[in-house]
Amino acid sequence: MRFKTYRPHLSTAQDARAVRTRASFRDALLLLLDSTPLDQISIRDIAAEAGVSYTTFFRHYPTREALLSDIATEEMRQLLALTMPMVDGRGVQEASLELFRYVRENRRLWSTLLTGGAGDALRAELLQTSLEIAKRRASPQDWPPPDIGTLLVVSGTIEVLTWWLRQDARLPVERVADILYRFVILPIMPAAAGVPRPAEKRGARSTRKRIRDEQK
């Protein structure tokens, strides 16, 4: 499956009844995913679980994959909301625990999103969205620079999540959150452990000042 952010037609995007119907379809697919792989779920199954007619489905989504894309868009927002505190170095251990608890509660869905055919495209979308957020939050005093710090933390988080979801023997969230903290967050964001931003050496500053003076 190719991941592509799905947006409903403008004529129904804000209609209250249409919004409720799409929510019913999303809830139905999430419930079905708790016990059934995506490739074994039909549109008729989704419509029946939602209590909505089969033909009504196609008024809102052209395919089952479009419905999954709609869900994925909301899930990406939630995942990024849980990840950004780690990028900022605020309450990193608590934030990582909350992140893994959330994914555990939605394990079937996230297994489908990250380890299925749409995994690569979803990673790319998550990274692009997180970099856009980083640019808006950028400050010259940030260390490491927001774009590379965000890229490394988000991509590292995605890889740890994907690895965890593929394990037959499931590690407790506390263990996997500790892996993320020790091997991804700390090497990238030392401020999370109270390590100050690296100071620039006087010799390096003097050399750069001399070069600037010579160029004037």
Same structural domain for residues 82 and 171? yes
Residue that is last in its domain, among 62, 91, 106:
62
Is 203 among the domain residues?
A: no
Q: What pLDDT score does 216 carry?
A: 52
Is 41 among the domain residues?
A: yes
Same structural domain for residues 80 and 144? yes
Rounded to whole angstroms, what are the CA distances from 89 to 35, 94, 181?
A: 37, 11, 11
Largest CA distance in the chain: 77
Q: Using CA of residue 201, residue 202, residue 207, residue 212, what is the dihedral sign?
A: positive
Q: What pLDDT score does 48 carry?
A: 96
Helices within 89-197 (DSSP H only):
92-105, 107-115, 119-136, 146-165, 173-180, 186-188
Q: What pLDDT score does 34 carry?
A: 77
Domain encompassing residue 46: 10-62
Is 207 among the domain residues?
A: no
Residues sharing a CB contact under 8 Å with residue 71, sequence separation 6 or more, in sequence order: 26, 29, 30, 109
Total of domains in the chain: 2
Same structural domain for residues 100 and 137? yes
Same structural domain for residues 175 and 76? yes
pLDDT tens digit at each of 216 positions of the chain:
444 545 554 445 567 888 899 999 999 988 888 788 888 899 999 999 999 999 999 999 999 888 988 888 888 888 888 888 877 767 888 888 999 999 998 888 888 888 876 677 778 878 888 888 777 766 666 677 777 888 888 889 999 999 999 887 778 999 999 999 999 888 877 655 554 444 544 444 454 455 455 555
Helices 64-88/107-115 angle, 10° precision: 100
Same structural domain for residues 104 and 137? yes
Same structural domain for residues 110 and 42? no
Write the CATH number for 164. Answer: 1.10.357
- Token pair belonging to 11: 């004529």
Q: What pLDDT score does 25 carry?
A: 94
Write the CATH number for 45. Answer: 1.10.10.60
Same structural domain for residues 77 and 181? yes
